[in-house]
């Protein structure tokens, strides 16, 4: 991760598009925390096709397996290799991680003329059925870089899963949720974890793995004859924006920054900055 943060990876390197590198960097880092609250909070952002969230108990502790090979009970000389398997005595979660690649899907014609659709998620359900059948809570998560749930894939998965997988639930999760989860939990971690959390946030920002949720000022009483101040961050710099009658909305720098950066950002119309991810707060006058 530090290698990439310091721009030591060539821009055309396949590492930048590799989901295995992304998976190893993110989950490899998360497993080094003393407790798994951050990991569990991230996984609990997963939703099913009905919008219901995954609910993993915060006291859970998982063994984490990376790219474990599971020989198939149905086909000889065949095995499945999920990206991640998290399990304990009561729960199992299999995660299929995608970045820029697509989910493997296939439709085969059976001897009786029926079409048999399968994808990686359904195949991983077979791992749970064969190796973790005695767990009470059994879940498969499709982790992608999408902004919204890929309903076609998820609906196909639910529609074509075998009846014996009825107790296995399928969820979708976006990489982008991790940034918000880390921010919400940042203050709860000890100084021993701050460096790793900071590197993770910077890594996610460098990969553009975060959501921009916009500005929410619905509860602010607005009047053109009053000035209201807000603070927000752009690329680690603190700025201020305000409404001033007859001058339009603008923002200006609060802390000292380098000259070139200041010239670009010193005054910018509010409507033009929505492409950035801001953290802002209302500042009482």
pLDDT tens by residue, 148-182 = 999 999 999 999 998 899 999 999 999 999 999 99
Looking at residue 17, the DSSP 8-state letter turns out to be: G
Give me the mean pLDDT over the 117-136 stretch.
94
CA within 13 Å, CB half, 252 = 5
Whether 151 and 172 have beta carbons less than 8 Å apart is answered as no
Spatial distance between the Cα atoms of 176 and 179, rounded to a whole number of angstroms: 6
pLDDT tops 60 at residue 84: yes
Whether 88 and 61 have beta carbons less than 8 Å apart is answered as yes
Residue 143 CB partners (closer than 8 Å, separation 6+) = 95, 96, 97, 98, 172, 173, 174, 175
Give me the mean pLDDT over the 76-101 stretch.
93
CATH topology (fold) of 2-179: Trna Endonuclease; Chain: A, domain 1 (3.40.1350)
Looking at residue 149, the DSSP 8-state letter turns out to be: -
Q: What is the DSSP string of 177-212?
A: HHHHHHHHHGGGS-HHHHHHHHHHHHHHHHTT-S--
pLDDT digits (tens, 9 = 90+) for 185-208: 777 777 778 888 889 999 999 999
Q: State the span(s) of the chain assigned CATH 3.40.1350.
A: 2-179
Residue 203: how many other CB atoms lie within 10 Å: 20
Q: Is the pTM of this model over 0.85?
A: no
pLDDT tops 50 at residue 102: yes
Residue 17: how many other CB atoms lie within 10 Å: 12
Looking at residue 47, the DSSP 8-state letter turns out to be: B
């Amino acid at each position: 991760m530090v290698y990439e943060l310091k721009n030591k990876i060539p821009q055309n390197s396949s590492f930048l598009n590799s989901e295995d590198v992304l998976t190893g960097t993110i989950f490899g880092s998360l497993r080094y925390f003393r407790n798994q609250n951050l990991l569990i909070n991230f996984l609990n952002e997963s939703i099913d096709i009905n919008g219901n969230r995954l609910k993993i108990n915060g006291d859970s502790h998982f063994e984490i397996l990376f790219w474990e090979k599971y020989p198939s009970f149905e086909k000889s000389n065949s095995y499945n290799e999920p990206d991640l398997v998290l399990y304990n005595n009561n729960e199992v979660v299999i995660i299929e991680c995608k970045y820029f690649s697509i989910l493997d899907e296939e439709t085969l014609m059976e001897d009786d003329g029926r079409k048999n659709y399968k994808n990686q998620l359904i195949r991983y359900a077979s791992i749970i059925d064969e190796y973790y059948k005695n767990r009470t809570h059994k879940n498969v998560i499709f982790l992608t870089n999408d902004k919204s749930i890929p309903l076609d894939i998820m609906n196909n998965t639910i529609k074509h899963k075998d009846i014996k997988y009825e107790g296995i639930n399928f969820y979708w999760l976006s990489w982008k949720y991790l940034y918000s989860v880390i921010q919400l939990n940042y203050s709860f971690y000890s100084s021993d974890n701050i460096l790793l959390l900071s590197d993770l946030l910077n890594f996610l920002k460098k990969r553009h793995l975060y959501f921009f949720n916009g500005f929410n000022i619905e509860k602010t009483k607005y009047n053109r004859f009053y000035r209201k101040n807000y603070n927000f961050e752009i690329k680690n710099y603190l700025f201020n924006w305000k409404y001033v009658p007859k001058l339009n909305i603008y923002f200006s720098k609060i802390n000292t920054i380098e000259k070139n950066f200041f010239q670009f950002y010193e005054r910018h119309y509010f409507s033009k900055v929505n492409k950035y991810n801001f953290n802002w707060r209302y500042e009482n006058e």
